[in-house]
Structure 1
Amino acid sequence: MNRGLYGKLAVNNIKHNRQFYLPYLLTGMLTVAFFYTMLYLNHNPGLDELPFGAMDVELVLGLGAVIIGFFSVIFLFYTNSFIMKRRKKELGIYNILGMEKRHLTKVIFLETFFSAVVAIGGGLVAGIAFSKLMCMLLYAMIGYHAEIVFYVSESGVVSTILLFAGIFMLTFIYNLFQIQLAKPVELLHGSSQGEREPKTKKLIAIVGIVTLAAGYYMAITVDNPVTAVLLFFVAVILVIIGTYFIFMAGSIAVLKFLRKRKSYYYKKKHFVAVSGLIYRMKQNAAGLASICILSTMVLVVISSTVSMYAGLDDELAARYQGDIGVSITSENPITEGDALRELVNRTIRQENRSIKEEQGMMTLTFSCISEDGNLVIRKHDDEGDYGSGIIMLRMITREDYEEAYNVRVPELSDHEVVLATSDDYDKDTITVGDYTYPILQKQHFSSENGHWMDNQVYYMVVNSVEDMAPLYEAQKEIYGKNASSYYYSLYIDIDGNREEKIACGNAVSAAIGASGMEEGHDGKYYIMIEKRAENEDSFRQMYGGFLFLGIFLGILFLMITVLIIFYKQISEGYEDKERFAIMEKVGMSNEEVKKTISAQIRMVFLLPIVTAALHVLAAFPMIRMILAVMNLNNGRLFAYCLLGTIAVFTVIYLLVYKMTSRTYYRIVGRQIG
């Protein structure tokens, strides 16, 4: 066979099947462009000049490139498998007409090669052309102002070509196996496989319900953000498995249940819709489950990143309790704490700034071992496996506790304490080492009042710093040089704009350095200084990077969702065409056909979006706590962003439904015209 003929056949095949290949190539180009853009931005030399947070932004962009690359593999394999299924009949005809499988292999190779050249080449051209615009968008989101010089990332181009060339090569190998292992008759009927009525798989349905319920239970009952972070991916995997199993087995069980209900089933529009879905649900369920999972990803990614960016002020306030924060670790807390406070106040006045609010707090924190409700002070390298029995005991004065956490504490007599924990402590006294303290009042805290890291911390509220002294000496005697010191922290809010606050904070740092306090006396204390305004840029860069990545991934997931819906509608259109033609011949009117199609499409389209909304609502408590780790404790803001994202996505989803339904109608035939 003439070599040039293979190329002509490959090009003609792509043109003949352009309704399948065009969306495939366009989305392939977009995926390539997205991947290159992430690499381009990640290696952008301008990011190295960021005054703060360069490493954070580069880490976020690097993570984005990995995620886009991972989903590109899944996405291109899915669309390629769909196209091959639709083309098996065509390839079977070629085989029967005399083309050997080795000839078909050459044609498929050239088709894959041409597709790869168009997708990779077009994607790189688009990525390079719009790279500067994407860089401008990123800089705007992170609040960075710098000159953007156009350039082409050579490493980004090479990495993109290698990755996507590898993906297309894998799709060719998959297609090659499909051709080599199939007989001509199987190729002829390949596009109509999967029409047998699937069996009701009760075990799979039960496993799906159990795994989905387990994922929901983790998300709803988690009560600590640190735990939420650790369990998040476990819950996600359980929900994904549960979703696929329930769609594949549970949907069939529900449809068969509807078929048994004669009052519902024996109506024209329900009869055709339900019977048609039952026979195709084996292949349809996986697509619906994929749409549901991807829709959930879009909702979670967009709402989370938007809320983090919108809540920047709340996050700064949660991380930095004052415009200026100064802390000192000391063995002589009262004298040195007072001296530090006086120095900071004097420097602020010298900078012509006024103090709006001031809060000081003295604490003593050391670790203990919980044994039968008693706290034992013992070195951790002693014999024994303490596991979760390690408790951090944090002693704090009554006055500081009330001011810091905005709670009321009753008057305390000698040795009386108030105990605040995240668990249910059921004793009336607490024993620490050789000392036993009567508990006047017990309080419970959680992430709701800002103690998101304190699941293993006991707050013991005492009258004064002097009441901490016995336990300070006890833990010092046991822990030696590793013993804890008193920790005094001072948070001050001042007036002025951002630049004035930064200047005042720098003056405080300089004053502490000039006083010699920063070095301490023989290393017995250590001073740390934090300035909220100075770190605002770092926060904006990190959360702006997350928002940029969230928008990119949201668009990617939405694009894949739309493509799956589009291909599903085309696939079902061709499968339904002959069925509806037969129904028309036996007397079914155009109006009845339209109602039947509408009922079937509504059923298929509503199921994924409704299930995705349920997934997101169930995940709300867990995601909210994970955002708390990112310093966002504003649950109301996240709720508003989530509801807004759901509303916008639903509108887009319905538009996709309208457009793809028209494609379905055109394929099915004139009876619905």
Structure 2
Amino acid sequence: MFNKDVVAAIQNKENYKTVILIASIIVFLFIVFFILYANSFFMKQRKKEFGMYLLYGMKERHVATMVFFETLFLSTISVSSGILIGGFLSKFFGAVLMNLMHYNEDISFSFPLEAIVSTILLFAFLIGIITIQSYFNVLRLQLVELFHAKEKMDKPVKFSMPLAILSIILIVAAYYTITLAGNTDIWKDYFKETLIVTTVALIAGTYLFFRQFSGWILQKMSQSKNYFKGNKMLWISSLRFAIRGNTVNFTFNSLISAIVIFTVGFIAVDYAVKGDVVKKEFPNHFAFSTQDDKTQKQIEQLMNDSHPIVDHERITGIQTEKIPNRKAFFSYPEYYTEEFYLFPESQLNAIVDLREAGEKVDLKGKEAIVLTRGLDEPTKYKSSQPEITVLEDNTFRVVEKMRYPLLSIPTSPGGDSHPQPSVLIISDEAFNYLKENRTLSSYEIFQVEDPNTSNDLSRKIYDIVMTTEGAYYSAYIDMYSIDTESSSLVLFSVAFFAVIALFALGSVIYFKQLREATEEREHYLILRKIGVDDKEIKKIIRKQLLFVFLPPLILGLVHSWYLLYYSVILVIKDLPSLTTIIFSVMGLYILTYLIFYVSSTSIYYKIINEKNTR
């Protein structure tokens, strides 16, 4: 937000700062909740330590003061190193953002004072919250409870086969309802109700899946004939006791994982599609009302100086009176001008040649074609052809509604837009007949080299053209820069948030395993005494933690796949890189969880060996 090179490159600076500020607030709030959870977890881990301090005569405020100075010390190291790393990474992340926006700007290392002060103030606020939380945690504890905190163990849950089956039914029912999206009346007529029911079913099904179904599977495994073979009994029995304490974490991780993967996948696809959409909706690099000869030469000189003209065409049309009732031709008439602009078929065909995109038309007599934008479905009328009457008593039969913007939405470098001209294509003979004794409107359409970098050029031409009241102006770059910058910012912010969320979710499971490893050191010490070697213990740990990390990940991936497949993949079928984008997002998620799994097994093994190496 404060990097001068990035801000200088951005076209819509206020919008950029607003988006980054909102993203920063969201990230900080997420960090606050996560740090509070982590602090609460470690405070519980130190109950016995605090009990010893209180027994020796320390007051609660003294313990809280000690925690405050610990937090202050760790936070100072954390914030200082974070600011340094952030400053050095600013060049990298700035380059990533510029690459997403397709800007060729060099970003330097930056340590803006505003950013440093903001970070320090936010973390000072966080330190205060942690200190208050720690103080109240100490106040709520009883001395007897502190010494017996470690002895409080989870009890195995009684698992029910009907509830286990119900969890599968709820999840399958939610999936089935998702597959009906867009094709049935249940979503069209009862969207909110269906969405609420589907969401509740998915949440309840996920919770019961971990609470009952996974426990039921473990229970059945414990009743199998080969339960006592190998090390199966050891890791299964441990997991059965841990189900109660892990159910909420597993459920939360699966659901949040699904949301994160779906959101990142959806935004990534939206970003990939945005460029193609803008090209289709704004195919004219520059289009504006014809100027006088002097002004026209001035504009063309400006173009050739920075973005040489590749091709040029002038089209001439007739503006009609206002036609309020246009519902027969446009699904959203409010997005189009009330008056129509009539152009001959030959000029449309000339623009098709200029763009090298679209289909040429051949009209006879009173036949006509209505040109629409992306919101309207293209239609060919065969039997019942709607009629339109223009210029007093001239009636045309509309044979087709074609999605092809001859004159796209008027734009401005600042981002404002106006209703798109309603265009009616008629035969050359009909146009030649109607143009007699009428005022004609001419428009210049230019294609230039490298239109993606023509922001400054657009501003200059816009200022010249719009000195004439009511003039038409539209430039591809105006909408491209807005859409690209906004979609890039959203993708950048969501991806950044997803990384933080992913590490936080993985850490929740990670913390839980640290606590369980600490509690089970005595059990593993007994296993060693009865002859279980290190290799076998590592196998037990790997299997136990695989069951902890894998189910939430798999269920989260499946949830997100159903959401993405039926809301994105089936809707956008003509994007070759679509599945690659989605699978890349899922692949990165799996890789991160794999890193957490490997590190958890390593630290788990180290913790259970602590007493044995003393």
After TM superposition, the score normalised by the length of structure 2 is 0.68
Out of 265, 269, 285, the position equivalent to 1:323 is 285
Out of 224, 233, 247, the position equivalent to 1:263 is 224
Deviation, 1:604, is 1.5
**Which residue of the partner structure matches residue 660 of structure 1?**
600
* 8 Å contact from structure 1 (residues 353, 495) kept in 2: yes
Unaligned runs of 5+ in 1: 1-41, 329-336, 378-387, 451-456, 469-485, 520-524
* 8 Å contact from structure 1 (residues 194, 283) kept in 2: no
Decide whether aligned partners of structure 1 residues 642 and 565 sit closer, same or farther in structure 2, where only a CA change above 3 A counts.
Answer: same
**Which residue of the partner structure matches residue 566 of structure 1?**
510
Deviation, 1:657, is 1.4
Out of 161, 167, 181, the position equivalent to 1:221 is 181
* 8 Å contact from structure 1 (residues 53, 538) kept in 2: yes
- Does residue 1:109 correspond to 2:49, yes or no? no
- Does residue 1:253 correspond to 2:208, yes or no? no
1:483-526 deviation line (CA, Å, top 9, x unaligned): xxx9999795635456997798678658746xx7x32xxxxx44
**Which residue of the partner structure matches residue 32 of structure 1?**
none
* 8 Å contact from structure 1 (residues 366, 392) kept in 2: no
Decide whether aligned partners of structure 1 residues 270 and 419 sit closer, same or farther in structure 2, where only a CA change above 3 A counts.
Answer: farther
1:175-190 matches, cutoff 5 A: 175-190=134-149
- Paired with 1:526 and 1:578, the residues of 2 have a C-alpha distance of 83
- Paired with 2:19 and 2:39, the residues of 1 have a C-alpha distance of 30
Further displaced range: 652-661 or 167-176: 167-176
Deviation, 1:654, is 1.7
Decide whether aligned partners of structure 1 residues 636 and 360 sit closer, same or farther in structure 2, where only a CA change above 3 A counts.
Answer: farther
1:622-642 deviation line (CA, Å, top 9, x unaligned): 7749999xxxx9733343222
1:25-424 matches, cutoff 5 A: 42-44=1-3, 49-50=8-9, 52-95=11-54, 97-99=55-57, 103-119=59-75, 121-140=76-95, 141-142=97-98, 143=103, 145=105, 152-154=112-114, 156-193=115-152, 195-198=154-157, 217=177, 221=181, 245-258=204-217, 259-260=219-220, 262-263=223-224, 266-268=227-229, 269-293=231-255, 295-296=257-258, 299=261, 314=276, 317-318=279-280, 320-326=282-288, 351=304, 353-355=309-311, 406=358
Output the amino acid matched with 2:240: I
Q: CA RMSD in A?
A: 5.9
* 8 Å contact from structure 1 (residues 565, 660) kept in 2: no
Decide whether aligned partners of structure 1 residues 412 and 214 sit closer, same or farther in structure 2, where only a CA change above 3 A counts.
Answer: farther
Decide whether aligned partners of structure 1 residues 502 and 434 sit closer, same or farther in structure 2, where only a CA change above 3 A counts.
Answer: closer
- Does residue 1:644 correspond to 2:584, yes or no? yes
1:290-347 deviation line (CA, Å, top 9, x unaligned): 4445545664566566667777854652453132233x6xxxxxxxx9x999x97997
Further displaced range: 198-207 or 130-139: 198-207
1:432-511 matches, cutoff 5 A: 492=445, 494=447, 496-497=449-450
- Paired with 2:213 and 2:318, the residues of 1 have a C-alpha distance of 62
- Paired with 2:309 and 2:124, the residues of 1 have a C-alpha distance of 61
The number of equivalent residue pairs is 555
- Paired with 2:319 and 2:93, the residues of 1 have a C-alpha distance of 42
Higher relative contact order (CA 8 A, sep 6+): 1
**Which residue of the partner structure matches residue 414 of structure 2?**
none
1:482-631 matches, cutoff 5 A: 492=445, 494=447, 496-497=449-450, 512=465, 518-519=468-469, 525-532=470-477, 542=486, 545-546=489-490, 548-550=492-494, 552-582=496-526, 593-620=537-564, 624=568
Further displaced range: 280-289 or 359-368: 359-368
- Paired with 1:541 and 1:145, the residues of 2 have a C-alpha distance of 14
**Which residue of the partner structure matches residue 411 of structure 2?**
none
Give 3-state SS (helix, strand or coil) of 1:529's partner. strand
- Paired with 2:444 and 2:577, the residues of 1 have a C-alpha distance of 26
- Paired with 1:340 and 1:556, the residues of 2 have a C-alpha distance of 57
* 8 Å contact from structure 1 (residues 348, 504) kept in 2: no
Task: Provide the identity percentage.
Answer: 18
Output the amino acid matched with 1:656: F
Decide whether aligned partners of structure 1 residues 180 and 210 sit closer, same or farther in structure 2, where only a CA change above 3 A counts.
Answer: same
Unaligned runs of 5+ in 2: 409-419, 432-438
**Which residue of the partner structure matches residue 385 of structure 1?**
none
Decide whether aligned partners of structure 1 residues 127 and 432 sit closer, same or farther in structure 2, where only a CA change above 3 A counts.
Answer: farther
- Paired with 1:340 and 1:57, the residues of 2 have a C-alpha distance of 38
Deviation, 1:72, is 1.1
* 8 Å contact from structure 2 (residues 284, 446) kept in 1: yes
Decide whether aligned partners of structure 1 residues 487 and 242 sit closer, same or farther in structure 2, where only a CA change above 3 A counts.
Answer: farther
* 8 Å contact from structure 2 (residues 314, 445) kept in 1: yes
Decide whether aligned partners of structure 1 residues 667 and 65 sit closer, same or farther in structure 2, where only a CA change above 3 A counts.
Answer: same
- Paired with 1:502 and 1:180, the residues of 2 have a C-alpha distance of 61
Give 3-state SS (helix, strand or coil) of 2:287's partner. strand
Give 3-state SS (helix, strand or coil) of 2:57's partner. coil
Further displaced range: 558-567 or 423-432: 423-432
Further displaced range: 552-561 or 206-215: 206-215
Decide whether aligned partners of structure 1 residues 493 and 138 sit closer, same or farther in structure 2, where only a CA change above 3 A counts.
Answer: farther
Further displaced range: 273-282 or 497-506: 497-506
Kindly indicate which of the two structures has a greater share of residues assigned to helix. Answer: 1
Decide whether aligned partners of structure 1 residues 535 and 87 sit closer, same or farther in structure 2, where only a CA change above 3 A counts.
Answer: same
Output the amino acid matched with 1:573: A
Further displaced range: 550-559 or 52-61: 550-559
After TM superposition, the score normalised by the length of structure 1 is 0.63
- Paired with 2:479 and 2:401, the residues of 1 have a C-alpha distance of 34
